Each structure stands twice: as structure tokens, then as C-alpha cells.
Amino acid sequence: MNASDSAGPRRNSARSREALLRAATELFSEHGYDRTTIREIGERAGVDPALIARYFGSKPLLYVEVLRAEHGDAAPDDLLTEPRLREIAERAQRRGPVPLLRVAVQPLSDPAAQDATRAALTARLVEPLRARFEREGRDRPGLRADVLVAAVAGVLLARHSGAFDDLADAETDEVVDVLLEMFDGGTR
């Protein structure tokens, strides 16, 4: 066996992993997290869906990897900036009740997925707010950040619950505007 023979499977592994990541990104955007199956991701990627477990561990962990791929490791803006809140609300509307929001209100059944999703929630949503509140000299910046993220997660998840007619019927822009108005009045 020469060096090029041993590189073949690695290249195919990398290609399969990338194909799964690309397919998951497309399907989560098109159909939402809940309505996307592991089988569909594998079919779109042109590989065995069992490779999701091999390369990512689970569907929630694959979703976390999709987030990393979409946004990199750069620190995101906090939720009190209109573009960031709008981005989160639009993604939640397209993809449905995704693990990143669900973990804010209910633990995931897979401990590895729970840990990774909780870490992503903290890094992407809680920490930018905590840092903002610290810069502003607010008392209890961690608690303030937790409460605000929990409120946003609850509102965005509630849009899909069927319990709130006006919230479910509202356009994403309207929901974002109301949230920003509420937060602006409550953070001064």
C-alpha cells in the first residue's frame, strides 16, 4: 500500500462529512429541524445516514456543527442588537424549535447533545449579553443575560406551540419589534 492509497479513505471520510454538513444545513433551512430526518440528510448527501452518528454523534450535535459552520467562532453580537435578534428569530421561524432554543427550556435526552447544545447556547447567546451588561456596569450581569435569553427562547418556541394565536400569526419582524421595545424599556 502506498501513501496515496492510505489517503483515499481519509479524503472520502472528509468528503462524506462535508456532504452531510452541507445537506443538513440545506434541509434544516428548508424544512426545519423537527421535520428533517437523519435519513433525508443521508439521502441528500449521497451517503449512508449512519455516518451522522460516526462523524457527529447525533442529530442535535450535527445541528450544533451546522451553527459552527455557518457562523464560525467569532463572537456574535448580543440579542439586544436588532440585527442579531432578527437573525435568531428568522432562523427559529425557518427551522422550527431547534435544539439551541429547546435546551433553554427542556433538557435534551442525549447527554452529549445536551452538553454541546448548552455550551453553544451559552457561547452564542448568553455570554455576549453578559459581557454587555458587565461593560455597562449592571448588577448581576449573568442573571440578566440568562433571563433575557430564556425570555427570547420562550417567545420563539411559543410561536410553534399553538398556544398563542397572535404570536403564531405575527410576522417575524413584528415579534422582533415588540421584543426590542420590551427589552429597551426593561434594560435602562
Report the CATH number that the domain containing residue 34 is assigned in CATH: 1.10.10.60
**Are 50 and 79 contained in the same domain?**
no
Using an 8 Å Cβ cutoff, are 51 and 16 in contact? Answer: yes
C-alpha cell at 36: 428533517
- Tell me the pLDDT band of 188, cut-offs 50, 70 and 90: very low
What pLDDT, on a 0 to 100 scale, did the predictor assign at position 110? 80
User: What whole-number distance in Å separates Cα of residue 98 and Cα of residue 92?
Assistant: 7
**Are 27 and 98 contained in the same domain?**
no
User: What whole-number distance in Å separates Cα of residue 158 and Cα of residue 95?
Assistant: 14
Structural domain including 31 reads: 1-55
**Total domains present in the chain:** 2
In this structure, is residue 94 part of a structural domain? yes
**CA distance to 65, 67, 68, 178, per residue, from 73 (Å):** 11, 10, 7, 29
Hey, how many other C-beta atoms are within 10 angstroms of the C-beta on 167?
17
What pLDDT, on a 0 to 100 scale, did the predictor assign at position 45? 96
User: What whole-number distance in Å separates Cα of residue 96 and Cα of residue 105?
Assistant: 15
Using an 8 Å Cβ cutoff, are 44 and 26 in contact? Answer: yes
**Are 51 and 79 contained in the same domain?**
no
Which amino acid is located at 65 in the chain? E
**Are 80 and 154 contained in the same domain?**
yes
Say if residue 10's pLDDT is above 90: no
Say if residue 163's pLDDT is above 60: yes
Supply the pTM of this predicted model: 0.76
User: What whole-number distance in Å separates Cα of residue 137 and Cα of residue 163?
Assistant: 37
Say if residue 156's pLDDT is above 50: yes
**CA distance to 4, 5, 12, 44, 117, per residue, from 8 (Å):** 7, 5, 6, 22, 33
Q: Cell numbers 496515496 label which residue?
A: 4
